[in-house]
Amino acid sequence: MELKPEQLASRLESEPLKPAYLIAGAEPLRVLEAADAVRAAARAQGVSEREVFEAEGNQREPDWAALEASFNAPSLFASRRLVELRLPTGKPGKDGAAVISDFCAAPAADVTLLVTAGEWSKKHAGKWSEAIGRIGHVAVAWPIKPHELPEWIERRLRGHGLSADRDAVQLLADRVEGNLLAAAQEIEKLALLAGADKAPLDLARMQALVADAARYDVFRLVDAALNGQPVQVSRMLAGLRGEGVAVPALMGMVVMELQRAASLARVAAAGGNLGAEFKAQRIWDSKQSVYRRALQRHPAPRWEAFVGVAGKVDRMVKGREAGDPWLGLERLLLAVADPKAVRLLTATAA
């Protein structure tokens, strides 16, 4: 039976660890939190060893032979271990499906398999996912529909000890525009801003707290660019400018993220270990898919060019270069979000 990620988290609190789990879907926050719940349950039940398998470098698929060997090898440091398989496309292919199905047919007593997938539809399912469902659980994070978002926000608020009336919840739903990760971040900030005062949030108080949290929007601005969302980039920049935010307050984060992306692009172009580079750059698991999508839009030399343009915008801010820094920054971030907008950089980079 297919579960919702939240249902899986609830079951993990009341039942022994299953031999296998599949968590998939296009809602990265729900997939990540359900996977974290499996990891937490594993730790609570004495599983201290963890292995991760995913495609690296020029490989399009994980090393299936290594995964199969891991299933058959005894644990070196613990009596039980968690083996994670990451499938961004949700498709293990013929070889991968066989390895997973074989494991599920006779699961090793010391192994729990956790498969996560960033894409999922009815077409992705197959004998391998059915095999996981027979010995464990399959949880799918289907996209939250617009009419479902307020209820999701209310549950999230309750989880942080907060409550809000309908208008206040709707305000927050309108602000995040269906982005669950942004909604979760906003609610965490609301919990901090509300402090010990847990009185229900009405519309006026929600508006005040959301305004106080506006300084955090630079993170969402950069994420929108990396996620390929040019409309959101323009809207957020206009909002930040209208709130009186200065370009220098934004450039530090923009330059850092572009330099990070350029470094990742160099490693990927050279066929290096992107997973190791993520660790070296201290990029959280929840953010890695954002960078992977961004790297697919532009070749490595273009990321280096983006860093150069950011330097030019920074010089505009400091009066060392002619030009409008707001226009330069918008052109830069639109180009990051949409390859079709790269031509707009000509005027900035000239």
Q: Residue 25 is part of a domain; what is its CATH number?
A: 3.40.50.300
Average per-residue pLDDT for the chain: 86
213, 243 contact by CB (below 8 A): no
275 torsion bin: left (phi>0), alpha (psi -120 to 50), beta (else) = alpha
Say how far apart CA 329 and CA 103 lie, in whole Å.
51
| Residue 339, pLDDT above cutoff 90 | yes
On whether residue 16 sits in a domain, the answer given is yes
Say how far apart CA 135 and CA 103 lie, in whole Å.
10
pLDDT number for residue 216 = 46
Q: Is the pTM of this model over 0.85?
A: no
Confidence of residue 236 (pLDDT cuts 50, 70, 90): confident
Domain CATH for 332: 1.20.272.10
Domain limits at 80? Answer: 2-140
Say how far apart CA 243 and CA 166 lie, in whole Å.
26
Confidence of residue 7 (pLDDT cuts 50, 70, 90): very high
pLDDT number for residue 80 = 84
| Residue 284, pLDDT above cutoff 50 | yes
Measuring CA to CA, how many Å separate 267 from each of 56, 150, 273, 299?
A: 11, 41, 7, 12
- With vertex at residue 74, the alpha carbon angle to CA 127 and CA 98, rounded to the nearest 5 degrees, is 15
DSSP state of 201: B
Residues above pLDDT 90, as percent of the chain? 44
DSSP state of 270: T
Residue 323 vs residue 208, higher pLDDT:
323
Total domains in the fold of the chain: 3
**Tell me, what amino acid is at 349?**
A
Is 108 found in the same domain as 185?
Answer: no
| Residue 215, pLDDT above cutoff 60 | no
- Residue 160 DSSP SS3: coil
Residues above pLDDT 70, as percent of the chain? 93
Confidence of residue 213 (pLDDT cuts 50, 70, 90): low
Is 282 found in the same domain as 250?
Answer: yes
Say how far apart CA 184 and CA 161 lie, in whole Å.
14
Which stretch of DSSP H or E encloses residue 112? strand 111-117
On whether residue 350 sits in a domain, the answer given is no
pLDDT, tens digit, 9 for 90 and up, residues 238-278:
888 877 778 887 888 888 899 999 999 999 999 888 888 88
Is 332 found in the same domain as 254?
Answer: yes
Say how far apart CA 224 and CA 92 lie, in whole Å.
29
Is 170 found in the same domain as 241?
Answer: no
| Residue 280, pLDDT above cutoff 70 | yes
Is 330 found in the same domain as 297?
Answer: yes
Residue at which a domain ends, from 156, 190, 212: 212
Helices (H) and strands (E) in the chain, counts: 17, 6
On whether residue 323 sits in a domain, the answer given is yes
Of 18-27, 214-223, 237-246, 338-347, which has the strongest mean pLDDT?
18-27
Is 270 found in the same domain as 204?
Answer: no
Is 190 found in the same domain as 239?
Answer: no
Is 169 found in the same domain as 127?
Answer: no
Domain CATH for 200: 1.10.8.60
Say how far apart CA 265 and CA 263 lie, in whole Å.
5
The neighbour count for residue 264, using CB atoms within 10 Å, is 24
Residue at which a domain ends, from 140, 169, 202: 140
**Tell me, what amino acid is at 68?**
E
Residue closest to 217 by CA, chosen among 193, 191, 239 = 239
Residue at which a domain ends, from 123, 140, 157: 140
Is 223 found in the same domain as 205?
Answer: no
Is 121 found in the same domain as 34?
Answer: yes
pLDDT number for residue 327 = 93
Is 208 found in the same domain as 220?
Answer: no
On whether residue 291 sits in a domain, the answer given is yes
Record the tokens describing residue 113, joined without a space.
């398999």
pLDDT, tens digit, 9 for 90 and up, residues 293-311:
899 999 999 999 999 999 9
- With vertex at residue 309, the alpha carbon angle to CA 308 and CA 315, rounded to the nearest 5 degrees, is 95
pLDDT, tens digit, 9 for 90 and up, residues 37-75:
999 999 999 888 889 998 765 567 888 999 999 998 876
Residue 168 vs residue 211, higher pLDDT:
168
CA-based radius of gyration for the chain: 22
Phi, psi angle pair for 113, to nearest 5°? -95, 130
The neighbour count for residue 318, using CB atoms within 10 Å, is 10
Say how far apart CA 231 and CA 165 lie, in whole Å.
30
Is 129 found in the same domain as 76?
Answer: yes
Phi, psi angle pair for 293, to nearest 5°? -65, -40
| Residue 77, pLDDT above cutoff 80 | no
29, 246 contact by CB (below 8 A): no
